[in-house]
Structure 1
Amino acid sequence: MEPVAASTSLPDPAADLDRNLPRICGVCGDRATGFHFNAMTCEGCKGFFRRSMKRKAMFTCPFSGDCRITKDNRRHCQACRLKRCVDIGMMKEFILTDEEVQRKREMILKRKEEEALKESLKPKLSEEQQKVIEILLQAHRKTFDPTYSDFTKFRPPVRSSSRSRGTGRASSILTQDLSSEDSSDLFGSDAFSTISEPVEPPIFSNLVLSEENEDSSSMNIGFSHLSMLPHLADLVSYSIQKVIGFAKMIPGFRDLTAEDQIALLKSSAIEVIMLRSNQSFTLDDMSWTCGSSDFKYRISDVTQAGHSMDLLEPLVKFQVGLKKLNLHDEEHVLLMAICILSPDRPGVQDTSLVESLQDHLSEILQTYIQVRHPLPGSRLLYPKMIQKLADLRSLNEEHSRQYRCLSLQPQHSMHLTPLVLEVFGNEIS
């Protein structure tokens, strides 16, 4: 078998040319395949020049010695064809020996084998892993409204320290048991109704949503200096309900006992809410913009709900750091699920099962990052995400502490919903 000619190793003069333009052989005008022996030629002229140089052929033109070489007549006059090769810059010094050609072939073959091995070892998302991701994405979409239209059901935001009268709805307690197989009906037609009389503190283990749709009536809220507290209490209560809906659709979550489901949700709800709120967080002005100007929340608004800077400063820092990770939706939902399925939550009994579920989700997240998240964004992304979960623990503790302080003050606790009072007003026993 005749050796294959090598291409020149000199810099490609055509590197700056438009690669979409057709390349023409400098010898015969046929379509060129690249630079061969220092000139742009077709495969035919490349082989002709190599054979001629290796054989030290001496050709004589049967005509006048100035034949015009074309694709159709290039075989008619070898002398003029070879002369044309030399004229356009083809050089015999670039022709490899048979031994060099063989070594080059072996190197090419070895490189292909190494690339094939590398490709075979590269992690891939299995069908099962892709299915889990799709389930979590669907669960998030079903339980998170990017238009924030439900916010109009809350007691209205009042950015004032003065007393005011307001008409709105306070979150009712959950009325759908976790044992229900259908989590799509978790949210009733209207989950908000005005609390006009004392409500028996709900038992979180019931985890139910009211199906009632009562008309709201005017009431003197008595805002004191915490004018945003009723609105944000409704927002948090509503968000807890949505987190429960999301959790119920996490693969494996329903395999846990009701007691462990309750313990996980009660401990992780505010952390998942903080993760979800990052989608509405804006780096430009460090605010949460939820659909319209009516629902744009700044630090000053949250302070008017009773939270101090002990929570808000690290919360904003957390939101900024998480936003800068530029997580994909897939990574975001996996992080939320991992957050919920934490075996070290207070009150969890079957820690081994919870840990196995979390480990499985963590493995999917790491594989997804390796396969789908391009560099440099994927560099150390997984440990950075896990660090965010550790940050959330501290935020959770401070958030619960501040809500417990509010719940102990009758003038403020009256504006908190029963669900909020139960989740954040007491420690998990």
Structure 2
Amino acid sequence: QGFFRRSIQKQIEYRCLRDGKCLVIRLNRNRCQYCRFRKCISVGMSRDSVRYGRVPKRSRERESLDSRSPSAPPTPGSAAIEGPLTPTGLSSSSNGYTPACDLPSSQGLSNGSSNGVSSTMSNGISNGVVNQVMMGNGSESCIDDGGDGAGRARVVSSSSMMEVEHKQADIYDFIMAVSQAHFSTCNYTEDKVRDLVRKPVLFNSSISDPDEASSTADALDDQKIRLFQGLSTCVSPSIQSVVEFAKRLTGFSSLGQDIQLNLIKGGFFELWLTRVSRVTSSLDNTLTFADGSYVTRHHLNLIFDVDFVDSLFNFAASFNSLGLHDTGIGLFSAAVLFTPDRLGVIDRKNVQYHQDRAMEALRTHTSRSHPMDNSIFQSLLSKLQELRKIGGCHQSHLQWFRDNWNRLELPPLFAEIYDIRQDESKLMLN
């Protein structure tokens, strides 16, 4: 309690070096003050109780004297709190805890404070949370009983404050869960790619049926197939990683199995591109896989086309320029996965709820990790749209391979994720 009180009163801003995933117990609680402070909030400690719960005896005596003489001029200290109060910790810069903000579909609040909610508070909390505070029984009110409480400042009720703080704690719990899921399933984290030993992908140069290559067009098609088969072998391990990531996300397992499958199948390429962007370089025109093997831009041009491959490299470059750390990439990936309008998804309202939650967590995280750049979140919104467009183009390119399925030998999981038929006789031989 002493640590929590000091943190509030001194408005100390903490940072975590491990993306907010430290385990806080009595023996090691001094190692990370950020996670310790967050745990205080999650177990129900209230900033409001710190500000108003304890009043020194001298202050009580002075307040009593003031109440007996209403005509006495206010002291400098009392004048400072005559207006509406913005609760410490709920503003956009207090203690490094930026509360959840408006989602893209939300309408912004006006700067006025007709209901007693300050503009600082409205900028820091999502409309849904603010509306609950404003409309609930515990909304801010002016206390003036004409007796001992005369001249007291307006106070946001503890119940409303506790509700807001629990929502904040829930968001941070979500951030922590996504961060842990990302670190445990992604092979493209900062630590894992740092020591990669890069080597070119070795594509099979043999032609399965020499008669097929009787023309230049057939030769190009055969080359396209060989390169695509090599690419599929490199990409396949990431499919299981994405499946594991999805299973660990809060709320994903509560969806129907058909919805889960359609979300993974529809979002895999976009999520994979988000992860692999870190090792996609426009400098040497290569895309590197988790095992260090890489394909060149020229190879990808032969598999798809120049315009599509340009869009891949452009997305990777612009996404990397945002400077997201692993937790931010994990939250963005969760928002990509919970896209409600994927083909075959029926319960879109429920999926939309989970995407909104992921977006709220992403906004909270980016406002804390990039406090001096408010444009990061808006840039990520545009990246979601750009990613959907790239994903649609990718599906169009896959159609050629679906039409030529009988000429392909693909890993079963890769073929399933992209709905490419397979030759059952070849599967039995394998």
Distance (Å, rounded) in 1 between the aligned partners of 2:408 and 2:254: 36
- Output aligned runs, 1:13-412, within 5 Å: 106=76, 110=80, 120-122=90-92, 123-124=98-99, 126-146=168-188, 147=192, 157-158=201-202, 162-163=205-206, 224-226=222-224, 227-290=226-289, 295-304=293-302, 306-376=303-373, 379-409=374-404, 412=407
Give the SS at the match of 2:339.
Answer: coil
Correspondence for 1:212:
none
Give 1:336's aligned amino acid. Answer: S
Distance (Å, rounded) in 1 between the aligned partners of 2:331 and 2:402: 33
Give the SS at the match of 1:255.
Answer: coil
Give 2:206's aligned amino acid. Answer: R
> Does the 8 Å CA contact 1:283/1:320 hold for their aligned counterparts?
yes
Say if 1:158 and 1:224 are closer, same or farther in 2 by CA, change over 3 A: farther
Say if 1:273 and 1:412 are closer, same or farther in 2 by CA, change over 3 A: farther
Per the TM alignment, residue 392 of structure 1 is displaced from its structure 2 partner at its CA by 1.3
Distance (Å, rounded) in 2 between the aligned partners of 1:285 and 1:115: 55
Distance (Å, rounded) in 1 between the aligned partners of 2:366 and 2:310: 30
Say if 1:109 and 1:322 are closer, same or farther in 2 by CA, change over 3 A: farther
Task: State TM-score, norm by structure 2.
Answer: 0.53
Give 1:129's aligned amino acid. Answer: I
Q: Aligned match of 1:424 in 405, 418, 428?
A: 418
| Cα offsets for 1:150-181 (capped at 9, x unmatched) | x99xxx92368x5389xxxxxxxxxxxxxxxx
Structure that is richer in helix per residue: 2
| Cα offsets for 1:86-106 (capped at 9, x unmatched) | xxxxxxxxxxxxxxxxxxx95
Per the TM alignment, residue 253 of structure 1 is displaced from its structure 2 partner at its CA by 0.3
How many residues get paired?
A: 259
Say if 1:106 and 1:270 are closer, same or farther in 2 by CA, change over 3 A: same
Say if 1:232 and 1:251 are closer, same or farther in 2 by CA, change over 3 A: same
Give 2:354's aligned amino acid. Answer: L
Distance (Å, rounded) in 1 between the aligned partners of 2:272 and 2:279: 11
Q: Which has the larger radius of gyration?
A: 1
> Does the 8 Å CA contact 1:158/1:228 hold for their aligned counterparts?
no
| Cα offsets for 1:123-142 (capped at 9, x unmatched) | 34733222212211221122
The root-mean-square deviation of aligned C-alpha atoms, in Å, is 3.7
Say if 1:108 and 1:423 are closer, same or farther in 2 by CA, change over 3 A: same
| Cα offsets for 1:241-283 (capped at 9, x unmatched) | 2111110111000000111111111110111001010122235
Distance (Å, rounded) in 1 between the aligned partners of 2:406 and 2:183: 37
Give 1:275's aligned amino acid. Answer: T
Per the TM alignment, residue 112 of structure 1 is displaced from its structure 2 partner at its CA by 12
- Tell me the percent identity: 23
Give 4+ residue runs of structure 1 displaced > 6 Å after superposition.
Answer: 111-116
Give 2:91's aligned amino acid. Answer: L
> Does the 8 Å CA contact 1:287/1:296 hold for their aligned counterparts?
yes
> Does the 8 Å CA contact 1:264/1:341 hold for their aligned counterparts?
yes
